Amino acid sequence: MTTDSLYGERLSNDTVRIERQLPGSVQDIWAWLTENDKREQWMARGTLELRVGGAVRLEFRHKELTYADDPAPPRYADMADSARLTGVVTACEPPRLLAHTWGDQGEVRYELSESGGGVRLVVTHQRLRGLEDMLSVSAGWHAHLDLLVTRVRGEARPRYWELHTRLEAEYARRLAG
């Protein structure tokens, strides 16, 4: 993937899609999405019942995803220690498809397919309430997926909030039009 293709794409006024090419098998990446001990290393810990109608209870602990000298920007100060999200699984076809509501910020769909000797992960976040939500979730997904890539590859993690701040500014430039 080129650097430019790492950025999310605005599909409509309420939908953004972001893709990553990852090493490993579809089964490996499914585990990184669905198993708590793996998912908490790049996104959030919590319950994810793998059945349609199943509960989603995630707790984002961003301080554990970054470094002590990388504080949350003022806009996200309330999320620095812990942020909780609840939802309901809307689609589940292991190990290829998982979708669930994202609190009151729409629905997220994860699609996995074999590609280029690895796995193509497509994350689509839909039913966003406006440009501000789109910018926030685009930067958030981009940063979290960068964390996933480093974890899967066994590399050092990026500075989450520094990365998120830079990405949010770049998404404002890319998606505002």
Distance (Å, whole) CA 103 – CA 163? 24
Terminal-residue alpha carbon distance, the chain: 24
CATH no. for residue 61?
A: 3.30.530.20
- SS3 state at 82: coil
Helix ranges (DSSP H) in the chain? 26-34, 36-39, 131-153, 160-175
pLDDT at 177: 62
Distance (Å, whole) CA 147 – CA 143? 6
- Residues of the chain short of pLDDT 50, as ranges, are 1-3
Range of the domain at 20: 4-175
Domain count along the chain: 1
Angle of CA points 113, 114, 118, to nearest 5°: 125
- SS3 state at 62: helix
Return the sign of the alpha-carbon dihedral for residues 66, 67, 70, 75: positive
pLDDT at 3: 45
Residue 77's CB is within 10 A of a number of other CB atoms, namely 10
pLDDT at 81: 83
- SS3 state at 24: coil
pLDDT at 10: 94
> Which residues, in sequence order, are CB contacts of 166 under 8 Å at separation 6+?
none
**Pairing relation of β-strands 118-126 and 15-22?**
antiparallel
In the block, residue with structure tokens 């939908």: 15
In the block, residue with structure tokens 């190990």: 95
